[in-house]
Structure 1
Amino acid sequence: MGISTEDEKPTAGALAVEDERIDTPPAIASEGIDKGDLDRAFVYLSRQNQSQLDNNVDLKALRRKIDWRIIPVMTACYGLQFLDKVLINYSGVMGIREELHLVENDFSNASSVFYISYLIAMVPNGYILQKVTVTKWLCILAILWGIATTCTAATFNYHSLLVTRIFAGLFESPVSPCLMLISSQWYTSQEQASRYSFWFCGVGMAQISGAFISYGFQQVHSTTSLSSWRIMYLVLGLTTSLVGVIGLLILPKSPMTAKFLTDSEKVALLNHIAVNQTGIENRHFKWRQLKEAVLDIQIWLLVAISISTTCSSGVISSYSSIVIASLGYSPPKAALLNAPSGLVTISNSLVAGFGVRYSSNRWAWIATFCIPGMIGGALMSFAPSSKPVAIIIGTHLVHAIIPTLMLTFQWAMSNCVGQTKRVVASAFVAAGYAIGSIIGPQTFQDRDKPEYKPAKIAILATQGGGAFFAVILFAYYYWANRRKDRVEAALKLSSATGGGRQEWGSKTDKENLSFRYVY
């Protein structure tokens, strides 16, 4: 794979310059359309003389070409983001609590404060993400949160740990929305699910590598004056920043400015993903779409799914090593026993992604993956401590619910149309993830140790809630589609009404009568 510091071709014209205004093509201007409603993909296509381009582009080969260019960096970013924020899980059995004198609920607070800052940062992110180049913003954030992770190695008490966790949360907050938006720029709604599963596999890889990294670093404490957990934060933080720099060199700014694609391939790709009717890039923030997003029941149901399914995964991300260690295992063994969770995450992510790719029914897949999670929660909650293997299996099964977050992300990007509404929806759903991750660790109260029974029961209950909200959202989408069918029939409108502007997201999902929700 070649590395280039330049994303644009000369033929891209004004689009090659990020801050340069895009002139409205004469053919469009004559229609009297507000330039703010024009997606940049629509503008790019209107300038191309498609009769002079190659019309025989192999879409399968083109998808593979795009996959190899962007998916590895996205997977690395998401995996490192997950690993960096759950290092506190591994460090919990490596001496951080004793060395920083963490008492009572200090450890839970250090885990939760990350997500509190993560949640607060979502407020401006809903606006910022429409004003920046998403791929470059993602890589800059990776550099910054890598620095914050590295600084954790220098913490000396509870309050200094909180500071590094707060900054890490601020910088990692836009990562999931960035990856959602990038995926929607390059793939159709049907293709997105399997691509989401690829970069979500980064979580499983991080779980496996994190277990072995924790084990490895626990072996070096006797040969250096620097604590093993400090070395771990130092190495992984610097690695994250390095990946951010590499991403800046590799990831293109958009399909219209990607140097690794020919003009024919760009046009073929844009025409292919036009079926999404979601648009690709539009820097005009539309306040009416923000209002619609805030009042849209589908977004709040997506947030409810995100909160419910993340409560349990948030708990396990921060406390699985401690739960296993409480069963009598040594810290190194507790770290290694976390590794199988990564295999559960990877296998379930791939099954979920390709299951949706070929059969749709996102609601059913979400409900299905809540079942093993609930079984895992039940084993953690009710298996006696004399059966440690059952409890450990339960902690691994809980990770089966992680792909439900992936499907929720993809569901939101497929059904929330209009650039501003889509960006806001991505921020809202990611905020739901933060809320669940705040609630989860707080169920682990110091007074409940060593069994933490209330927390384990909370895991069981919230996963059932995720399945319930998925079924409700399915029912809502089914009703909304039938309603659109009746309105369209009554008005005798053609599904082609609106032409290119409709395909490129000048209208929201509610305004566009030809748009149908996927479920």
Structure 2
Amino acid sequence: MASDKRLEETPRLNGKRSSASLDRAITYLEQQPDSQTIHASVDHTQLVRRIDRHIVPIALAIYTLQVLDKLDINYAAVMGFNPDLRLVGNDFNNAASSMYIANVIAELPTGYIVQKVPPGKWLGLNIILWGVVTASTAAVHNFHGLVATRVVIGILEAATTPCLMLIIGMWYTKSEAIFRFAIWYCGLSIAQMLGSLMSWGFQHVHHDSLSSWRIMFIVLGCVTAAAGVWAIISMPDSPMDASWLTEAEKRAAIQRVAVNQTGIKNTHFKWQHLRELVLDPQIWLLTCLVILTSLSSGVVSFYSTTLIRNFGFSSQRSALLNIPSGAVSLISALATAYIAHRYNARALSMALFTCFAAIGSGLMSFLPSYNRAGLLAGIYLVNAITPNLFLIFSLTTSNVAGQTKRVAANALVSGAFSVGNIVGPQLFKPKDAPQYIPAKIVLLVTQIASAVLALSLRLYYGWKNKEREHEGDKEIENIEWLNLTDQENKTFRYKY
């Protein structure tokens, strides 16, 4: 085989290599001897636009629906949800956390499965199933039934972020990817605004047999399942499998992302990649950042509407007053993406917008209860931290190479997001109602810690790049397709 011959001519790194170490993309390219000529003949601007049309809308829709299906109990809480299910004490918090506990547990097998199966098809299947379960929540009548549905949704949603991170990394260069991450992560902002409007709208729907919140769950579930069918039909598993690209465009799509040095598709599982993952400082900095950031996003997800209602507003008005939270998230995401890309300042952008969120937590913590305008401003400003998550996803995709290590890192970062969301709702103890001052102060402290960690990450990446500049690069043929990790490949440079 041509790939075996090429591998024999390649310098050995870290011991014996086999053809299994090669990325599937290089094998595909070698089937076409004049692929460089074909690559040059393709209009790359048109190619990127075609890729955007087939990838970005699906990713945006999927993430919007995932967030909506997480936020639905936040909106249902002001629609008679708690008394209908006889939730008392800490029941609501426990139900919110149960979904993320299941999500954390499911991330480990998900990381392995995603490397082995077509990610687009696996994602679509999970979306259909969680849509069915979301709709089934309308049939729940007690706490135990609610927990059961949230646990299943948590398991099924575990595939979403790792699959989207993997797919974006297959199709876009590192500089292009950040805007695509920003676009699909805007699904959070859209979901916040759309969810608020849905809650307000469904509160005007009255039916003799079904409560308004039950009708809302049925509608959301059906829309989600339909999106899953769309994903199975339209979301490509890799550039090699995209039916809407010509052979020339497939090869051009592969060659244009070779600069990433992170590969496209390799199902060969490598234990040494996992060992390196455990010992890699960037992984733990990213993981801690996600946990601290998601503490704040957990508040946004589950308690923003309740906090607003506790300021003395009606349920319907509380839903509408939560809309600016989504607007702040949207503006922050787009501004962060621009700054991060324009000035190559991903980590610094995280630190900056985390400071805005800390100002919001300070307002919520220390303003008097009669200053409703200031308290509302505080809730809105906390949403400035949410873009940190897509920047962390972008950094993980850009800076972690080696297929097994990359897939495991995606799963670990996704699991860390769930850890923060497990802890977040538990901070809001019923005995601290209605102001929940201890929880708000904890958020302020964790946001300051997030800013410090983001700056530490920037310093780490800068140090690693300078270290490699001093070492010098060794020329190795097709090194970008050898399934090397970012630490094994000394020509690899980190984005920060």
| Deviation of the 1:469 alpha carbon | 0.6
Q: What one-letter code is carried by the residue in structure 2 that aligns with 1:258?
A: A
Alignment deviations for residues 455-512 of structure 1 (CA, whole Å, 9 cap, x no partner): 1111211111111111111111122222222333xxxx43xx2221x11252111111
Q: Say yes or no: does 1:383 pair with 2:367.
A: yes
Q: Secondary structure at the match of 2:41?
A: coil
Is the CA contact 1:57–1:268 (under 8 Å) kept in the aligned structure 2?
yes
Gaps of 5+ in 1: 1-22
Q: How does 1:10-25 map to 2 (within 5 A)?
A: 25=3
Whole-angstrom distance in 2 between the partners of 1:24 and 1:86: 52
Whole-angstrom distance in 2 between the partners of 1:147 and 1:202: 21
Q: What one-letter code is carried by the residue in structure 1 that aligns with 2:227?
A: V
Q: What one-letter code is carried by the residue in structure 1 that aligns with 2:192?
A: Q
Q: Secondary structure at the match of 2:255?
A: helix
Identity of aligned residues (%): 45
1:319 pairs, out of 279, 298, 303, with: 303
Q: Say yes or no: does 1:498 pair with 2:482.
A: no
Q: How does 1:30-179 map to 2 (within 5 A)?
A: 31=9, 33-49=17-33, 50=35, 53=38, 55-179=40-164
Q: What one-letter code is carried by the residue in structure 2 that aligns with 1:210?
A: G
Q: State the superposition RMSD in angstroms.
A: 1.4
Q: What one-letter code is carried by the residue in structure 2 that aligns with 1:378?
A: G
1:280 pairs, out of 248, 264, 268, with: 264
Q: Comparing 416-425 with 347-356, which one deviates more in the overlay?
A: 347-356
Q: Secondary structure at the match of 1:279?
A: coil
Q: How does 1:451-462 map to 2 (within 5 A)?
A: 451-462=435-446
Aligned to 1:301: 285
Alignment deviations for residues 319-350 of structure 1 (CA, whole Å, 9 cap, x no partner): 01110111111111111111111111112111
Q: Say yes or no: does 1:409 pair with 2:387.
A: no
Whole-angstrom distance in 2 between the partners of 1:413 and 1:52: 29
Whole-angstrom distance in 1 between the partners of 2:334 and 2:46: 21
Q: What one-letter code is carried by the residue in structure 2 that aligns with 1:55?
A: A
| Deviation of the 1:29 alpha carbon | 6.0
Aligned to 1:263: 247
| Deviation of the 1:224 alpha carbon | 3.1
Q: Say yes or no: does 1:513 pair with 2:477.
A: no
Alignment deviations for residues 229-284 of structure 1 (CA, whole Å, 9 cap, x no partner): 11101100111000000111111221012121122222222111100000000001
Q: Say yes or no: does 1:450 pair with 2:434.
A: yes
Whole-angstrom distance in 2 between the partners of 1:451 and 1:40: 55
Aligned to 1:184: 169
Q: How does 1:315-354 map to 2 (within 5 A)?
A: 315-354=299-338
Q: Say yes or no: does 1:245 pair with 2:229.
A: yes
Q: Say yes or no: does 1:424 pair with 2:408.
A: yes
Q: Comparing 389-398 with 274-283, which one deviates more in the overlay?
A: 389-398
Q: What one-letter code is carried by the residue in structure 2 that aligns with 1:108?
A: N
Whole-angstrom distance in 1 between the partners of 2:301 and 2:38: 50
| Deviation of the 1:214 alpha carbon | 0.5
Is the CA contact 2:3–2:19 (under 8 Å) kept in the aligned structure 1?
no
Whole-angstrom distance in 2 between the partners of 1:308 and 1:468: 11
Q: Say yes or no: does 1:28 pair with 2:6.
A: yes
Q: What one-letter code is carried by the residue in structure 2 that aligns with 1:275?
A: V
Q: What one-letter code is carried by the residue in structure 1 that aligns with 2:70?
A: K
Q: How does 1:430-441 map to 2 (within 5 A)?
A: 430-441=414-425
| TM-score, structure 1 normalization | 0.92
Whole-angstrom distance in 1 between the partners of 2:100 and 2:56: 26
Number of aligned residues: 489
Alignment deviations for residues 119-161 of structure 1 (CA, whole Å, 9 cap, x no partner): 1111112211111111111111110111111111111100100
Is the CA contact 2:104–2:415 (under 8 Å) kept in the aligned structure 1?
yes
Q: Secondary structure at the match of 1:313?
A: helix
| TM-score, structure 2 normalization | 0.96
Alignment deviations for residues 195-216 of structure 1 (CA, whole Å, 9 cap, x no partner): 0011011111111110010011
| Deviation of the 1:27 alpha carbon | 4.0
| Deviation of the 1:31 alpha carbon | 4.2
Aligned to 2:193: 208
Change (3 A) 1:336 1:474: same
Alignment deviations for residues 391-438 of structure 1 (CA, whole Å, 9 cap, x no partner): 112111111111001001110111111000000111111111111111
Is the CA contact 1:305–1:469 (under 8 Å) kept in the aligned structure 2?
yes
| Deviation of the 1:51 alpha carbon | 5.9
| Deviation of the 1:53 alpha carbon | 2.6
